Structure 1
Amino acid sequence: MMSFLHLLIISAAFISFASFTINGDESLSPNEEVSGLLVFKSYVTDPSSHLDSWNQDDKTPCSWKFITCNPVTSKVTGISLDGLNLSGKIGKGLEKLQSLKILSLANNNFTGSVNPDLSLLTNLEHLNLSHNGLTDRIPGSLMNSGSIKFLDLSENFMSGPVPDDLFKNCLSLRSLSLSSNNLEGPLPSSLSNCTTLNHLNLSSNQFSGNPEFDSGIWSLTRIRTLDLSSNSFSGSIPNGVIALHDLKELSLHDNQFSEALPSDLGLCPHLNKLDFSNNLFTETIPESFHALTSLSVLNLANNMLTGKFPQWIGSLISLEYLDLSGNSLTGILPESTGGLTSLRYLSLSDNNLIGNIPMSLGSSSELSSISLSGNKFNGSIPNGLFELAFDKIDLSRNEFTGSIPLGSSKLHESLQSLDLSGNRLTGDIPAEIGLNSKLRYLNLSWNNFQTRIPPELGYFQNLTVLDLRGGAFYGSIPGNLCDSGRLGILQLDGNSFTGSIPDGIGNCSSLYLLSMSHNSLTGYIPKSMSQLKKLKILKLEYNQLTGEIPPELGELQNLLSVNISYNRLQGRLPSGGVFQTLGASSLEGNLGICSPLLKGPCKMNVPKPLYLDPFAYGNQHKGDQSDHESSKSSKHHFLSVSVIIAILAAIAISIGILITVLLNISARRQLAFVNNALESCSSSSRSVASFSSVGKFVWFDSKTDPDNYCILNPESFLQKANEIGGGVFGTVYKASVGDDNDVLAIKNLVVSNMISYPDDFDREVNVLGKLRHPNLVSLKGYYWTPKLQLLVTDYVPNGSLQTKLHARPPSSPPLSWRNRFKILLGTAKGLAYLHHSFRPPIIHYNIKPNNILLDDSLNPKISDFGLTRLLSKVDKHVMNNRFQSALGYVAPELACQSLRVNEKCDVYGFGVLILEIVTGRRPIEYGEDNVLILNEQVKIMLEEGNVLECVDVSMGEYPEDEVLPILKLALVCTSQIPSSRPSMAEVVQILQVIKTPITPRMESYN
């Protein structure tokens, strides 16, 4: 309801306008515009008083701030209120400005619907309402005037289909952006009327259908930039329909387009960017693409393309970015690839390419990132390749032989990530590798070097991950590996290392994963290892270590997993820390460790005290007879004490075993999660951020100056009134941040006192800040002080899936099948992005409805991913709560002592999520005398042929031909054997096939 003040202003404006109309004085007609603007202002909240100059006593608004007038007629022609932190609604009044040509209200907080009265502005050419909070549907009459040339409604929350009437009078339209809303349905057929359209951006919505058949979009011959990415468009792009001679940029990524790529795209001579990644395109890359000599970006990644790698690739002389990864391309990489002198980024990973890397590739002087992993390349690595100034080199999982090239000074100064794992490399590690001053990630595992570790590896100043597993290394372990103090992960398993663990291991102050298993190490475990205060995982199994375990290791409060099995250790376990909860599999195979879980002798390093007869002294003055009687009495007394001690010992041991078993069950779950969270280490370079004594907000928008976001009182955000939720890792608050008072969500990390080092926090949070996907809650920035860490994310207004499924108020309708499927597909896409777009993959570990947030159109956004990366110390209570809250979603391998898990544990959680969404039931339900496990019940009902009886009846009608295969998919995802579960990329494809008409490809999944 409008306030009394607003009514008073509107009334005053109307009376003023009426008086001048009655007097008929045309010279005072500009006051009509004054009254109109004041009425518009009455609907606006202006906390910074930007509109104070808008005074009702003025006869003309031409002197007002943000207003532009025609100097001849004194009529208002432009209103530009961008970024003024205005809120409220776009109300009435503007329709009086009949000479208005430009209206820009972008980057504010306007809410409500778009005022249909804007269609009465008959001369309006430029309308920008982007980056607000507008909702509801787009008025079909918005462009009725026929004068609009530029329309931008992007970054709002508008929903529903685009009305067909919107484009009935669009002959003047040059640029249209509806991106990043919640629009859905097919495109209207009237879009083909916009024959003068140059720029069209419909990305990041939920549009569906075939855009050609629905709207005739390819007939818009004047299109220069077309972005349909991140929707649900499907179908093929047939040849003969693209006559887009002026086309410069075409983005169709993250949709469901299928069949062959259109060959007539090669007829677009001005095409600069072509991104068809993450679709279902098949067949070969058209030969006609060789004519795209202006192309700088070609991204066809993650489709189902086949055939030979294009030998004409060298003809794309302007190419700067080439990504053909995740397909099934065969053949060799041609020499002409080296002729791409402008190429900066090259990714051909996960194909079936063979042969040698062409020597000519060493001539690509601009190349800074190359990924050829997961192919069958062979031969040696060209020396010239290591002469370039690379940031990242990934040649893993191929068949390369020979030695590692020496590398040039350019490479040593720039290289940040080097992955040569999973090849057949031999020979020495070049000493020059220690000159790579920026190197953060080095993986040489699973090769056949047959050499020693060079001491130069200790020269790295920024190295955080060193992986030498299974590399056929021998000799002693250099004592200077951790001289830099930055190393976080050191993995030396499966080699032939001898000698003792160096005392210098205590210098690894940042180490949180230390793994030296399956070697031939001897000697004692050094006491210096107790200096590793951040250590979480210690794996020393299958060596020849001797002596007792240093008791000081029990003081490592962060240590959560230890495996010392199959050595020659003996004696007591440390009395503190994790050692009191170790299971038998972590201790067995030693000489004699003292543990109630182990059979066999308990061997100590010191001699045991002799038994002394308490009656042996004090009776020496008696004769033989008395000695004999005393001896009998003594033996009888000793027997009674022994029996009592034995009984007490048996009781104590039984209680100890019971407690240990219970602790192991809990600890194994904790340890499995943490160990594999640590495996998820990114080699991405971190951005530089400054930290002041009071802390600072750091934003990931490169256009934002962090110095504008100093916060003197960050606790002001953390008021109880602003609290909107919480979880294991912290409490979430709704807050306005920055000069523009953007409404965002702020998570106050409950474990903030465990994060002590800004470099560690900055490094990990920058990795998360780079994640951008429509189905992830984006991390906008962060705030750091030693005592307080805040994460700033998108604010998702519609709560969690948990509430929609299990805590829905009676007034709220149940989720329809359409929305449930949308939630499943979006969640799957978000997980696939985390798993397949990063190496190592980012694993969530806690997929459940509480962590699936929903926007206004019920689009899912995964939250709480990657938070374990931020913790330098994971509190056991926090980890235990995390698993308690995820009961029923935890994959079996997470409770396994071996702790060898991967991203398939997320697939298991997603399978449980499918069942929960389809059935509306919780994964585990407790009855009076039984426990119901959802996936077991669904499996039984499927075998009995009545599985549809478990479907949630509250959602109304549903297509059986979609629900049944999705239930089958859920059971495959929840297989007890991780390798039997599909990848999330395969899950996405299966879901997309289920949603489309039956094809031979779909039948293969049934």
Structure 2
Amino acid sequence: MQLSVSIFLILVFAPLLILSVDTAFNDDVLGLIVFKAGLEDPKAKLVSWNEDDANPCNWDGVKCDPSTNRVSALVLDGFSLSGHIDKGLLRLQFLQILSLSRNNLTGTINPDLTRLGGLQVVDLSENNLSGSISDGFFQQCGSLRSVSFAKNNLTGKIPDSLNSCSTLATVNFSSNQLYGELPSGIWYLRGLQALDLSNNFLEGEIPQRIENLYDLRELSLQKNRFIGRLPVGIGGCLVLKSLDFSNNFLSGGLPESIQRLSSCKSLSLQGNSFTGGISEWIGELKNLEMLDLSANRFSGWIPKSIGNLDSLNKLNLSRNHITGNLPESMANCTKLLALDISYNQLTGNLPSWIFRMGLESISLSGNSFGRSKYPSLTSTPAFYHGLQVLDLSSNAFSGEIPSGISSLNSLQVLNMSTNNISGSIPSGIGELKSLSILDLSDNKLSGSIPSQIDGAISLIELRLQKNFLGGRIPTQIDKCNSLSSLILSHNKLNGSIPAAIANLTDLQNVDLSWNELSGSLPKELANLSLLMSFNVSHNHLQGELPVGGFFNTISPSSLIGNPSLCGSVVNHSCPSVHPKPFVLNPNSSYSNSSSSLDGGHKKIIFSISALIAIGAAAFIAIGVVAVTILNIHVRHSMSRNAAPFAFSGGEDFRYSPTSDPNYGKLVMFSGDADFADGAHNLLNKDNEIGRGGFGVVYRTVTRDGHSVAIKKLTVSSLIKSQEDFEREVKILGKMRHQNLLALEGYYWTSSLQLLIYEYISRGSLHKLLHDENSRNVLSWRQRFNIILGMAKGLAYLHQMNIIHYNLKSTNVLIDHSGEPKIGDYGLVRLLPTLDHCVLSSKIQSALGYMAPEFACRTVKITEKCDVYGFGILVLEVVTGKRPVEYMEDDVIVLCDMVRSSLEVEQCIDEKLLGNFAAEEAIPVIKLGLICASQVPSNRPDMAEVINILELIQCPSEGQEELE
């Protein structure tokens, strides 16, 4: 009886058990399919996810617990997925690991994810998630051990509920836009092992009691806005291996408790305002491998105890106020690979052990080494063969460059500029096959440039200016085919410029000024397509300038001091050269018996030049007839086959090589005028991308896939005659500068005028600064380069006697390399007169940028009104604010706001705080205010502005990039 009951129970309940298991399986399948439905999968990474499967355990990126066959891990890192994180994941009740990093996911972070009680790891890093981190996410964090939201667009504060997640071991919120102070209770997460909050906008003081984190191994708070001192008890984190507080606003001395961090391998404090000396206890950090105290205010001598750091491989003490010399004890740092003590106040002899330690990078620039007794460089011990970077610039070294330098076969950067080095350049330089940068400028070198330079095949920059070098520029230099900068100015070089330079197709910057070069400029130089500057001023050059490419727009200042150069750029026409005619001897005869015809007729004698002229005339006559016949044929063919380009405005748009008044005239300065789809949609509303005071802008694509921007001018009633219009537009079409938007062509009818420009897809400076939906925050370095680029573009226009009149952030486009391109220049030249009323009515959208002289009819409009607009642009770029902002009951004028600010640093764009160079930003703001002076005569010209900006730019910037 009992057996039958058991069988009965099994028969009754077994289907229910099976149904329960199937339901669980289906729950996982359903949850993942719903999650997938909210995604875009361009690379078909989720093609194996089939809703008909019994379970998802064999799907890509899915892992199951083998004992239960329930989903335990979902790892989709780098799957190129986009979309949002759907609630379907909440069905995965046994999920332990959720990793969706390196995708393009958007939306906010669902706070309900932590309801999955078994969830231990959440990694949503490197996506485009936005919004704030909900307080609810950490209120029920269960068994959560690791969470990473790094490299997203998260805003808001770090939720206080984070303090209650006692199970957390790893927290990474780096590279977001989080702000506010650190929750004071964060140091009570006793199990925390790694905390990374770097690259945010966090502020305030770092809370004390950090010593509570007994298990903390990695702490990274760099690139924020923290102030005050380091926590006194930081040395209580005895197992700490990596500590990074760099690029904040911390100050004061270093707490002595740091010496207890005997397990620490990396200590980075650069870019703060720490003061005092570097204490002897630094030698207690026996396991230290990287020590970076650069860009602070440390003073005094380098302690001898630093020689106790026998595990150290990188030491950076640059940009401080350190004095004295390098202690001999440093020779005990046998694992040291990179040493940077540049821009301090070190003096004395250069220790010989430096070149015996196996260093890969040595930077001693900006000190006073060599001022006291210093041996010649030729007596320096043998160089180490693994050295890659050697920077001895801006010291007081003398002597000669040792010939043994050729043994540094790994050397990539050699900088000995701004010293007192004499003698000649050793030919062994050519044996440095890996050398990419050679800078020996501003010394006392003599002799010639060795022809063996051709052996340095990796050379990118060659800087030998401000020496006493003579002789010719070696033709062998064309073997350095990666060369982009060739700076040889202020020497005594003679002879002609070798045509071989034209073979260096990567050349961008050439400066041969202030030498004794003669001869003509090689015509082949016009083929250098990447050339940005070419200065040959103050030489003895002669003849015609190269025609085409960069030389069509070369600055006259790059050619001055060569009175025998000729061409339109130097406003000196080249003399016509006529060969002397060959005249037959009138006394000679073909034969004695036939010296005359018909007895008394005159002799007919032709010069060779006359014969050539007669032949040429006959050839031209035949050509005219042939061209006339071809023209008749072409016109007849075009009348039958050519379809006009139709616009929504009813105009016909076709290329017409004739002056037929029934057709518009399309002219492209380069390339074909072949638009896709017959260009019938060019002026449709759907193609509109912008509007301005002078017209509407549309985008279209030529048949070969080249995008262009077409501006339909709305000033037709004011436009000059066709002849004047075309003359002015062709002048603008010749403007070629990396910071000007290129005009590629135009179209003319009496009632419709179009200007065809290059198309820049990234958009305007105004959009990048003020569009709240923009994900890209311009860094300080990007902003500085934009300001400098705008200055160079505007200076070029002024050199060409063109006033912009309409400078504003919507007229500055930014290409994908971050280079600014000024648009809408020269359009006022198309109007018949520069009337104040016309100008102000056409550029009224530039409110805030207009110079005050526009309001006064008696004041002459000059380039200084552009300088005013540039000054406002500078303030706009640095502050991130519009020139005029309207509040509820007030109007804020940017220029007045900055000028009345008590502390200039308070005006910096809040998106930059903690991430900008104050030594650059503050002078740039002051320059902007000077440019925006109410009095035109007080404003500098743009050439002066460029000089000031280049002086403002931090001298160590280039070296930092090398490292």
Shorter-chain TM band: 0.5 to 0.7
The offset of 1:245, in angstroms, is 0.6
Question: Which of 344, 351, 357 lines up with 2:337 in the alignment?
Answer: 344
> Who is 1:872 aligned against?
none
1:954 matched to 2:887? yes
Structure 2 CA distance for aligned equivalents of residues 750 and 122 of structure 1: 56
Structure 1 CA distance for aligned equivalents of residues 784 and 28 of structure 2: 51
> Who is 2:293 aligned against?
300
Q: Using a 3 Å threshold, how does the CA distance of structure 1 residues 497 and 348 change in structure 2: closer, same or farther?
A: same
What SS is found at the alignment partner of 1:82? coil
> Who is 2:280 aligned against?
287
1:391 matched to 2:388? yes
What SS is found at the alignment partner of 2:178? strand
The offset of 1:468, in angstroms, is 1.7
Structure 2 CA distance for aligned equivalents of residues 491 and 250 of structure 1: 42
Structure 1 CA distance for aligned equivalents of residues 495 and 265 of structure 2: 59
The offset of 1:124, in angstroms, is 1.7
What SS is found at the alignment partner of 2:207? helix
Structure 2 CA distance for aligned equivalents of residues 288 and 852 of structure 1: 57
Q: How does 1:439-518 map to 2 (within 5 A)?
A: 439-499=435-495, 501=497, 511-518=507-514
Amino acid at match of 2:901: V
CA deviation string 1:231-260 (max 9, x = no partner): 222221043343111111112222222222
Amino acid at match of 2:459: L
CA deviation string 1:545-565 (max 9, x = no partner): 5xx414656787466135587
Q: How does 1:147-158 map to 2 (within 5 A)?
A: 147-158=143-154
Q: Using a 3 Å threshold, how does the CA distance of structure 1 residues 217 and 342 change in structure 2: closer, same or farther?
A: same
Structure 1 CA distance for aligned equivalents of residues 490 and 870 of structure 2: 42
> Who is 2:255 aligned against?
262
Higher Cα radius of gyration: 2
> Who is 2:569 aligned against?
581
Question: Which of 40, 65, 74 lines up with 1:70 in the alignment?
Answer: 65
Q: Is the 8 A contact 2:34 2:88 kept in 1?
A: no
Question: Which of 14, 24, 27 lines up with 1:35 in the alignment?
Answer: 27
1:326 matched to 2:319? yes
Amino acid at match of 2:452: E
Q: How does 1:124-273 map to 2 (within 5 A)?
A: 124-143=119-138, 144-168=140-164, 170-212=165-207, 216-217=209-210, 219-273=212-266
CA deviation string 1:615-658 (max 9, x = no partner): xxxxxxxxxxxxxxxxxxxxxxxxxxxxxxxxxxxxxxxxxxxx
Q: Using a 3 Å threshold, how does the CA distance of structure 1 residues 984 and 222 change in structure 2: closer, same or farther?
A: farther
Q: Is the 8 A contact 1:54 1:64 kept in 2?
A: yes
> Who is 1:91 aligned against?
86
1:921 matched to 2:848? yes
1:549 matched to 2:546? no
Q: How does 1:718-737 map to 2 (within 5 A)?
A: none
In structure 2, runs of 5+ residues without a counterpart are 1-11, 582-684, 700-704, 710-757, 795-806, 830-845, 873-880, 908-921, 931-939, 958-963
Q: Is the 8 A contact 1:304 1:327 kept in 2?
A: yes
Greater CA drift, 231-240 or 55-64: 55-64
Greater CA drift, 149-158 or 487-496: 487-496
Q: Using a 3 Å threshold, how does the CA distance of structure 1 residues 208 and 385 change in structure 2: closer, same or farther?
A: farther
Structure 2 CA distance for aligned equivalents of residues 128 and 87 of structure 1: 16
CA deviation string 1:20-64 (max 9, x = no partner): 999964872462452255145314325366556656666655555
Q: How does 1:574-973 map to 2 (within 5 A)?
A: 574=567, 580-582=568-570, 802-803=766-767, 827-828=779-780, 864=815, 881=823, 921-922=848-849, 924=851, 952-954=885-887, 963-966=901-904, 970-973=925-928
Question: Which of 498, 519, 522 lines up with 1:524 in the alignment?
Answer: 519
The offset of 1:403, in angstroms, is 0.7
Structure 2 CA distance for aligned equivalents of residues 539 and 61 of structure 1: 68
What SS is found at the alignment partner of 1:312? helix
What SS is found at the alignment partner of 1:68? strand
The offset of 1:201, in angstroms, is 1.2
Q: Using a 3 Å threshold, how does the CA distance of structure 1 residues 949 and 344 change in structure 2: closer, same or farther?
A: closer
What SS is found at the alignment partner of 1:142? helix
> Who is 1:406 aligned against?
403
Amino acid at match of 1:201: D
The offset of 1:376, in angstroms, is 1.0
The offset of 1:359, in angstroms, is 0.3
Amino acid at match of 1:280: S
Question: Which of 372, 379, 392 lines up with 2:364 in the alignment?
Answer: 372
Q: Using a 3 Å threshold, how does the CA distance of structure 1 residues 275 and 750 change in structure 2: closer, same or farther?
A: farther
Structure 1 CA distance for aligned equivalents of residues 447 and 527 of structure 2: 28
The TM-score with structure 2 as length reference comes to: 0.62
Question: Which of 302, 305, 308 lines up with 1:309 in the alignment?
Answer: 302
The offset of 1:272, in angstroms, is 1.0
Structure 1 CA distance for aligned equivalents of residues 889 and 383 of structure 2: 62
Structure 1 CA distance for aligned equivalents of residues 547 and 201 of structure 2: 55
Structure 2 CA distance for aligned equivalents of residues 268 and 842 of structure 1: 47
> Who is 2:748 aligned against?
none
What SS is found at the alignment partner of 2:171? strand
Q: Using a 3 Å threshold, how does the CA distance of structure 1 residues 971 and 49 change in structure 2: closer, same or farther?
A: closer
Amino acid at match of 1:31: T
What SS is found at the alignment partner of 1:437? coil
Amino acid at match of 1:460: A
Q: Is the 8 A contact 1:549 1:573 kept in 2?
A: yes
Structure 2 CA distance for aligned equivalents of residues 430 and 353 of structure 1: 28
Q: Is the 8 A contact 1:431 1:454 kept in 2?
A: yes
> Who is 2:424 aligned against?
428
> Who is 2:722 aligned against?
none
Greater CA drift, 118-127 or 930-939: 930-939
Q: Using a 3 Å threshold, how does the CA distance of structure 1 residues 723 and 442 change in structure 2: closer, same or farther?
A: farther
The offset of 1:402, in angstroms, is 0.5
Amino acid at match of 1:200: L
The offset of 1:136, in angstroms, is 1.7
Identity of aligned residues (%): 30
Q: Is the 8 A contact 1:323 1:348 kept in 2?
A: yes
Question: Greater relative contact order: 1 or 2 (C-alpha under 8 angstroms, separation 6 or more)?
Answer: 1
Q: Is the 8 A contact 1:219 1:242 kept in 2?
A: no
> Who is 1:116 aligned against?
111
Q: Is the 8 A contact 1:405 1:430 kept in 2?
A: yes
CA deviation string 1:250-286 (max 9, x = no partner): 1222222222233322211111111222222222223
What SS is found at the alignment partner of 1:329? strand
Structure 2 CA distance for aligned equivalents of residues 177 and 133 of structure 1: 16
Amino acid at match of 2:419: N
Q: Is the 8 A contact 1:341 1:363 kept in 2?
A: no
In structure 1, runs of 5+ residues without a counterpart are 1-19, 575-579, 584-592, 596-602, 610-719, 734-746, 752-788, 836-840, 854-861, 869-877, 888-918, 941-947, 989-1006
Structure 1 CA distance for aligned equivalents of residues 46 and 561 of structure 2: 77
Structure 2 CA distance for aligned equivalents of residues 313 and 833 of structure 1: 39
Amino acid at match of 2:401: I
What SS is found at the alignment partner of 1:278? coil
Amino acid at match of 1:954: M
The offset of 1:195, in angstroms, is 0.8
The number of equivalent residue pairs is 700
Q: Using a 3 Å threshold, how does the CA distance of structure 1 residues 316 and 526 change in structure 2: closer, same or farther?
A: same
